Structure 1
């Protein structure tokens, strides 16, 4: 068996990175794509490797000559690479296709060794490597039958989004038998090029062949093996984090992305916190049905969005403001306070990070169980000179919860002390207590010093819409926040969600009931695993202490590398005599089962 690599393209979308280098000489974590690919092919003990070069071809040839590759390498030049597409490059190598069974690869791919192994070891002679379509993929897709027959090649211009459940993406790695090349591919390649010219793609030939009664070629489905196609600098960034050789660095690169994990197709995100059972499909379908008008028209200004929020939360428009996520409001609110601010730690660090360190007055609850109540806070802060007290309820990451009656005692105390009280109730909808919100007109009017923040992203499972609210009976304060916002701080998708959300209140209640059942299941399952301690939580996550020799950092790495599970390592948040803590979100039942099985296996081997 031999390999043919198509490497003539210019890679214009990589801009400066390919200004003087061919695309396959771009480096991922310090190693060029071509060096990595040649090393992987070299291990397959092939008869030869044929590389079709074009743009910066001499530079590529000279570079390859410096690599330690044992397999014989031959080069074919495409002199008109800038006027043709890859069908012409492959046509230049057609005689080579007739000499041996062939692995055909495009040079802009990066993949783990298992990708090549699964193709080579499959006894079937002619295969197209495919993977279940994901939103980050681009280019040719196929529809395949239960017997792995390729029913249809679908080029990008004929892609139909409604057919996504049936699509598989071609990985652009193929295995052609010599017989298939002789009887099918080369004859059709010649005919296709003659009829339609050289500015086409070689997949088009396969598309025609699959229409035959006996096309010979089948699909080979990947099963979780990693690969990525690098067309632009964002692809390069993603690939760098996926294929970083150092496991600790891989975790770090993932952590600093703060989202966008849909581009990691196998990843289960137990780090970021959303409602796993809302929004319902009908709500999603309603947004889909209106996507065109939402996308192509301006959103309303801040005053209209405040009106929508007032409608949804049952308060006056003058008492509520909508932010681009709660994070925008947190930043703007904290910027207005220069005095001492009280915090409970461990906590959501976005709040203290917005405060001068010397102005942070920190209460640390009993580290045995990290619980506290309003009396504990009043006792500790009573002698402190506070301008504001910040409380997250339920707290993050401990899950500690103070019920509504106790919160009102805190409202009374702070009012008497002339202290602003900011309560973040982003997770309160997940608590067992009913009717626990402080966002009511009666409470806001009674306690004008009270500020209530709520992240709609977390409670309602729509982090991509970037919505958060701030409510207060202090109309002047709310006006100040509104005046500091840009006129279009909320996009049309967020506005449309607020426009229709009220219709789905009953669905939301059912989702919360379902969630609470799932939280009980996960709580019970976690408590059966040895060498961990699970802290009670009224939120949509659990904080877990590791009791054995396992560290939180090590566990986070193992779960990511071995199980594609991403958790929150709390080692930088909780400093407590070397104790080790993690936080895991509560997801749907299938994902929670996968997490339980993975955690059990890891802890059983320690």
Structure 2
């Protein structure tokens, strides 16, 4: 068995990464793609590798010769074939130039822009099928040629971009661009068709087109070898490179890289995210269907400006439009709010870091919380206000990450005390809809806002309503001049058409939303009960859609986070380094639905038991 790699391309989309080197010399976590590939082949006992070079061929050949010798190649020989017209041809011609080598032995054909696990080569070699295309069930991040498989994994069709149908992707398998061909297949079928296709359509085509013709003529010619989508990645541009580095990093490095993306986890469909906080029971499918039905109109039309957004949000929360402003997520509103605030701000710690980080013009005055459970009361806040001469109080309720909750009567009492002191209360109720039904409340109320002109309410629609991709949040106050000031701070089109349409249709689904919040509260109670049974884990009370937990055994939070990620594809929030969590023992767990929560419960039982 030999290997044949096509590495003649210029890799223009990688920009500076290929200015002075070839595409396969791009490093991923400190090692180049060509090194990963050669090491995978050597590990699997391949004794000969043929590389078709072109762009900066001398640089690539020198690099390989400097990195590999007889000892670390374990007897594998490397030969080079040069495509001198690499800039005028495509990979069909590069493969054509290696046609004689292709017919000499059974061959693993692979492209140079891939990073992959060596186990893929192992599976190819172990398979008794002589002719295979490595494929993965289609996932939304994938792009390029797809195949159709029958029940025995025979490839019954190969689809290029022109014939791709997004409504049929359940049946699609993306080609990984790694193949195994027997020398008989190459000699009797593939090379003759390769020559004929090139004569008819020219040298600037793709070799996959030949496979498409062969699969059309006979479905028994080539079979698919399905592998998981997270076993490989194709690198065409810097964004691909960043994703590949995350996918193929290990340990703490992988965790840090994943944390730095702050989302976009749809690119990692195998990942279960217990870090970021959303509503697993909303929106309902009917609402999703309505959004999908209008996607073309929304995609091609401009959204309205801030005035219309305030009308829509005012309708949802029964507020006057001059008392509410819609932001691109609560994060935009927090930033705009922070630009306007000055003086001293009282902040109970631990807290959501986005607030103090945006209050650059303020002096943060910490409110100490109970070290046993990070709880605090309105009285604790008021004492700090009077002692320190505070101008503003930040109250996140339920608080993040502690889950601490102040009931309505207590908050209104605090407001009443703060009012004559001319102290503002910034009240973030992003998680308040998840509180138990009998204590659930909102301060997004005209009567309350008018009574307390020192009240500013912030609410993240992304978190509560399960639509973080739409980026929606609201800020409300009875001070219309202040609301107008925030509106002017934000861009005129800060909300896209999808967000606007969501606000427009929400009212039809408001009862479903209330029911979804009840479901969260019920599941939280069950989740707390089951987690509390796990030895080595302390669970703190919470009225939010997340739980603060402390590891009481030998396990540290960073080690647990890495173990869950690497072994189980589970992503949690390690709170180490956050104020009040200097000891590496604290984690935050998002509450998902029962099925997902049970997976986490069983996994934690196993890991914390040391099994």
- For the criterion TM > 0.5, the same-fold answer is yes
Q: Does residue 483 of structure 2 align to residue 473 of structure 1?
A: no
Question: For 1:476 and 1:414, how far apart are their aligned partners in 2?
Answer: 21
Question: For 1:172 and 1:543, how far apart are their aligned partners in 2?
Answer: 44
Shift of 1:47: 2.8
Question: For 2:371 and 2:409, how far apart are their aligned partners in 1?
Answer: 25
Shift of 1:151: 2.4
Question: For 1:401 and 1:40, how far apart are their aligned partners in 2?
Answer: 54
Q: Return 5+ residue gaps in structure 1 as ranges.
A: none
Determine which of 399, 420, 440 is the counterpart of 2:403: 399
The 1:594–1:118 alpha-carbon spacing in structure 2 relative to 1, beyond 3 Å, is farther
Structure 1 partner of 2:339: 335
Q: Does residue 239 of structure 2 align to residue 226 of structure 1?
A: no
Shift of 1:489: 1.5
**What pairs with 1:28-177 in structure 2 (closer than 5 Å)?**
28-68=28-68, 69=73, 70-177=75-182
Q: Does residue 485 of structure 2 align to residue 485 of structure 1?
A: no
Shift of 1:579: 5.9
Structure 1 partner of 2:390: 386
CA contact (8 A) 1:540 1:585 kept: yes
Determine which of 372, 388, 391 is the counterpart of 1:368: 372
Determine which of 321, 325, 328 is the counterpart of 1:321: 325
- How many corresponding residue pairs? 605
The 1:214–1:492 alpha-carbon spacing in structure 2 relative to 1, beyond 3 Å, is closer
CA contact (8 A) 2:342 2:361 kept: no
The 1:572–1:22 alpha-carbon spacing in structure 2 relative to 1, beyond 3 Å, is same
Determine which of 278, 299, 302 is the counterpart of 1:274: 278
Given the two structures, how large is their TM-score scaled by the length of structure 1?
0.96
Structure 2 partner of 1:452: 457
Q: Does residue 527 of structure 2 align to residue 516 of structure 1?
A: no
Structure 1 partner of 2:189: 184
Structure 2 partner of 1:285: 289
CA contact (8 A) 2:333 2:475 kept: yes
CA contact (8 A) 1:230 1:236 kept: yes
Structure 2 partner of 1:24: 24
Question: For 1:230 and 1:522, how far apart are their aligned partners in 2?
Answer: 40
The 1:73–1:379 alpha-carbon spacing in structure 2 relative to 1, beyond 3 Å, is same
CA contact (8 A) 1:277 1:515 kept: yes
Question: Which moves more between the two structures, 571-580 or 303-312?
Answer: 571-580
Given the two structures, how large is their TM-score scaled by the length of structure 2?
0.95
Deviations 1:493-541 (A, max 9, x none): 2112111111111221232233233223322221121101011211111
Structure 2 partner of 1:248: 252
Shift of 1:192: 2.0
Question: Which moves more between the two structures, 15-24 or 465-474?
Answer: 15-24
CA contact (8 A) 2:156 2:219 kept: no
| Aligned Cα root-mean-square deviation (Å) | 1.8
The 1:115–1:594 alpha-carbon spacing in structure 2 relative to 1, beyond 3 Å, is farther
Shift of 1:356: 4.7
Shift of 1:345: 0.4
Shift of 1:577: 7.2
Question: Which moves more between the two structures, 116-125 or 291-300?
Answer: 116-125
Shift of 1:397: 0.4
Deviations 1:202-245 (A, max 9, x none): 11111122223453321111136521100001111111222235
SS in 1 for 2:15: helix
Determine which of 560, 564, 582 is the counterpart of 2:565: 560
Question: For 1:268 and 1:399, how far apart are their aligned partners in 2?
Answer: 22
